[in-house]
Amino acid sequence: MGKVRSPSLAELGERELLRRLERFAPPGQLADDAALLPSVPGGRRGVVSSDVLVEDHHFSKTTTPPESVGWRAVMANVSDLAAMGADQVVGVTVGLGCPGSLPWHWLESVYGGMANALHCHGGHLLGGDCVGSPMVSLAMTALGTVDQEHLICRRDARVGDWLVCSGPHGLSSYGLSLLRSGVVNPEPGSLQARAVAAHRYPRARLDVPQRLRASQPPGTPWRVAGTDSSDGLAQALHLLCGEQGLGGHVHRLPLPGALAGLPDGERHCLWGGEDFELVLALEPGWAQALLGREPGFRHLGTVTADNHLLLKDARNGRLRPFPPGKPFDHFGLRMPMGARDQGDSKPPTAGKNTG
Amino acid sequence: MGKVRSPSLAELGERELLRRLERFAPPGQLADDAALLPSVPGGRRGVVSSDVLVEDHHFSKTTTPPESVGWRAVMANVSDLAAMGADQVVGVTVGLGCPGSLPWHWLESVYGGMANALHCHGGHLLGGDCVGSPMVSLAMTALGTVDQEHLICRRDARVGDWLVCSGPHGLSSYGLSLLRSGVVNPEPGSLQARAVAAHRYPRARLDVPQRLRASQPPGTPWRVAGTDSSDGLAQALHLLCGEQGLGGHVHRLPLPGALAGLPDGERHCLWGGEDFELVLALEPGWAQALLGREPGFRHLGTVTADNHLLLKDARNGRLRPFPPGKPFDHFGLRMPMGARDQGDSKPPTAGKNTG
């Protein structure tokens, strides 16, 4: 791109900005007041997820290139869809707040990152809204579809289930720590480079629902408890077990091999977050079938009735409480989104009239 | 509510804030990573719309009570759904950014306003995200459904169509001007009170699609061009006519009677915005049938081929260009949302790889 000065949004003006953003959507997609979703054949249901990213809270221009800001926003939302069992992305809407002085070039790269991420999973930019704001914020809503008979729910874990995750945890957090300490261009192929890439360009596990279906043993009914690990593996286990009044014994942390020797490896793995893997609780026979088919998946341990999350010490085999830590996104409050069938129930009412 | 001090969000903590927000959604609605939409019977399609409101740009704590902030956010989005022909609201997701010091009481009232607005039209709080941010912003995505055979599109106006709107324009803008000039508690029943209420508690016209269907003359095929007037009547006419290379002759402005005598009445009507009415272009016979059934609707004029928006002068009957003005929301750039069927088209690709 060279050093051509990029016009600011205020310089571009609204019409021109809109014209430029249209490039990131299919032709005609942005022509109306709202976006139409494709109709979905019977047996499938729409799923929706929303996330807000705020500059200097959820990303920093010093550690996150704009392509990565857009990419990560899409992947974070798609990860939530996958955690419900969705295997198809319809698209995203984007509510962007930014100052008029923001260079177009930066924004173009953000939308380029979104388009690339959507290209990975299918789905379109469906539309959105851009408003003036003192700082950059990105509110995204993703829409997908799920097979009605193959939902994944957070609250479906049972005592005796195996705890399984779809991949290793900790690399993204390690990458962020490297970026924060000033590592900008690590040597290609090095652990540092892999960690930075894991942080900047994570992949949502939209493939997991299909892998679960493929491994389901005949005669085993569909029951999969699961959530994504966007706020850290420890937080995911808390949501799967602790919030149901259950516990979990974790026999082996899913550390990437290269992190095992690092002093902070365990912390990155348990509390780092943003690996965007799925953490599941399954009937043991099914879990074994899944682990047999999918070598990338990891067996973590077992769901217990004792309401404690305990970790087996690798040195002496004893169970100990999880080392203390905070979920990754301690600035944010995720308002989880409901899986209940709202078919014909009444709308909520507030406690007073607007008069 | 009295003068009980409200705890700040930072004082409440995330868990308690989440617990409090759950009150505004159906039981269990916020239990999972994403929200399920009800499946929709055949012939209907999902419609989605997003809007972002930023404090001091789109609302001010001095002119807009928090109930109204939530109410208006819902109505603005529902209005966009109605402008596509939607007649059913599924619900909204809310991406909230706010400082930890924000009093809970304020936020509670915002969500109360949203719940009341949803109660008007049906639909639920589906979920969302709350994040820390230096200023308050509210990114909302609304989902609804539309009958596939009864879409309203912005680009379907034809020369000779009648221009019709679903109600008068200007009261909301006049109300805002009163609030900005310090009118806080106008006398109940006065024009000032009506204008302030119109600004604070507008109603989206989700009823219009049904009224259109009811008035469609036998043998007249479905073709309705339309958009909502959230950014002002002049802007809506520009979107309906000007952007298609057409023009419009407006014979009569839809001024509320009480505004007709005000020096700024015409400006409020044409450029004020946020009346959230629909502005339509229809085959003349159908338009006449509609106007006959719906006395609240107004006949504005006719779509022309000459690519100018002209206004008939009430004094001398001459056509003159629209008086100059700016669309209401000049801080914002609405990225309109697509109505095209994206059934199986390819996802967009960006101009470069993320590497």
Lowest mean pLDDT among A20-34, B115-129, B195-209: A20-34
Quote the domain boundaries for residue A167.
151-321
pLDDT tens-digit series, residues A95-110:
988 888 888 889 899 9
> Do B116 and B89 fall into the same domain?
yes
Q: Using the beta-carbon criterion (under 8 Å), do A141 and B141 form an inter-chain contact?
A: yes
Find which of B21, B36, B137, B230 to mutate to test the A interface (most A CBs within 10 Å of its CB). Answer: B36
Q: Which chain A residue lies closest to B243 (C-alpha atoms)?
A: A31
Average pLDDT over residues A312-333: 74
- Say which residue, A286 or A348, is predicted with more confidence: A286
Give a yes or no: residue B123 inside a domain: yes
Residues B217-259 pLDDT 10s = 999 999 999 999 998 999 999 999 998 999 999 999 999 988 9
CA angle B195, B196, B201 (to 5 degrees): 100
Q: Calculate what percentage of chain B has a pLDDT beyond 70.
A: 90
Question: Could you tell me where the DSSP H helices lie in chain B?
Answer: 9-12, 14-22, 66-82, 104-121, 171-180, 191-200, 208-215, 233-240, 265-271, 284-293
Is pLDDT of A298 > 90? yes
- Alpha-carbon torsion angle A137, B60, A127, B88, nearest 10: 130
Interval B5-15: pLDDT, tens? 888 877 887 67
Distances (CA, A) of B170 to A204, A224, A270, B236, B255: 47, 54, 57, 14, 7
What pLDDT was estimated at residue A346?
34
- What pLDDT shows up at residue B49? 93
On average, the pLDDT of chain A sits at 86
Structure tokens at B74: 């819902």
A319 burial class (0-12, 13-18, 19+ CB within 10 angstroms)? Answer: middle
The verdict on a CB contact (< 8 Å) between B125 and A36 is no
Residue A35 lies in a domain: no
Residues A181 and A298 in one domain: yes
What pLDDT is attached to residue A3?
57
A202 and A269, same domain (yes or no): yes
Which residues of A fall within a CB distance of 8 Å from B128?
50, 335, 337
CATH value at residue A70 = 3.30.1330.10
Please give the radius of gyration of chain A, using alpha carbons only, rounded to the nearest integer.
21
Q: CB of A111 within 8 A of CB of A147? A: no
> Which CATH number do you get for residue A194?
3.90.650.10
Is residue B203 situated within a structural domain? yes
**In contact, B141 and B49? CB cutoff 8 Å:** yes
- Domain membership of residue B141 (yes or no) is yes
Handedness of CA B92, B98, B100, B105 (dihedral sign): negative
pLDDT digits (tens, 9 = 90+) for B48-58: 999 999 898 88
Same domain, B47 and B66: yes
For residue range B134-174, list pLDDT tens digits in order: 889 999 999 999 998 999 999 999 999 999 999 999 999 99
Q: Is residue B176 located within the same domain as residue B273?
A: yes
B350, part of any domain: no
Distance CA B206, CA B47 (A): 13
Confidence of residue B289 (pLDDT cuts 50, 70, 90): very high
Which of these three, A148, A176, A202, is where a domain ends? A148
ipTM: 0.85
Say how many domains are in chain B: 2
Measured between CB atoms, does B148 come within 8 Å of chain A? yes
Same domain, A204 and A306: yes
pLDDT surpassing 60 at residue B265: yes
Q: Does residue B143 sit within a domain? A: yes
Average pLDDT, rounded, for chain B: 86
Residue B338's pLDDT band (boundaries 50, 70, 90)? low
Pairwise CB contact (< 8 Å): B129 & A139: yes
On whether residue B222 sits in a domain, the answer given is yes
| Shortest Cα distance, chain A CAs vs residue B317, angstroms | 33
Contact A134 B139 (CB under 8 A): no
Question: Is the pLDDT score of B26 beyond 90?
Answer: no
A123 & A181 share domain: no
What is the mean pLDDT of the segment spanning B99-121?
91
